Structure 1
Amino acid sequence: MWHRMAGWTRRRWSKARTGMRRDAGMNTAEYAMGTIAACAFAAVLYKVVTSDAVASGLRATIERALDAPF
């Protein structure tokens, strides 16, 4: 009984290690693509927020909020 369980455990761990080796490079590529996408989104958001139309709209909204009676 002990020998059968030991073999089963060995095969199980061997399969787990093989599976981990097969995907080793995928995580780095996914993180790199995610980082690039996040940086691109931040750049677009920065351009939108600092544009004249958005800046004047935000300024007008804040001025209206500050001038509103309590």
Structure 2
Amino acid sequence: MLMCPTVRRRRIADALPYCGRLRRAARWPRTTDAGMSTAEYAVATLAACAFAAVLYQVLTSSSVTAALQGLIERAFSSAV
């Protein structure tokens, strides 16, 4: 027997025990927030790009470059 989705939801909600959260989820149709995930991905992408730019600036600074070069030179000189 085919039932419309609203009738099916009501019957499922009536069959469930008295758990308010499940009853509300079965009774109320869900709405989609398609734009929310897209906006969140855009913000996360911008944050990742900003972090990469800051990290690049730090790693290419003269003090960090000199420290890394000194570390590599010490590693090669002690290995020989």
Number of matched pairs: 63
Q: Which residues of structure 1 form unaligned runs of 5+?
A: none
Amino acid at match of 1:24: A
Structure 1 distance, partners of 2:2, 2:62, is 75
2:8 match:
8
Find 1:68's aligned residue among 38, 61, 78.
Answer: 78
Residue 69 of structure 1, CA deviation: 3.9
Structure 1 distance, partners of 2:37, 2:79, is 55
- The structure with the largest helix share of the pair is 1
Sequence identity, in percent?
47
Structure 2 distance, partners of 1:36, 1:3, is 48
Structure 2 distance, partners of 1:50, 1:33, is 26
Residue 24 of structure 1, CA deviation: 1.2
Alignment RMSD? 2.7
* TM-score normalized by the length of structure 2: 0.65
Q: Which gives a bigger RCO, structure 1 or 2 (Cα 8 Å, sep 6+)? A: 2
Structure 1 distance, partners of 2:76, 2:34, is 55
Q: Tell me the secondary structure at the aligned position of residue 68 of structure 1.
A: helix
Amino acid at match of 2:39: A
Give the 5 Å matches for 1:1-70. Answer: 2=1, 7-8=7-8, 15=29, 18-20=30-32, 23-69=33-79
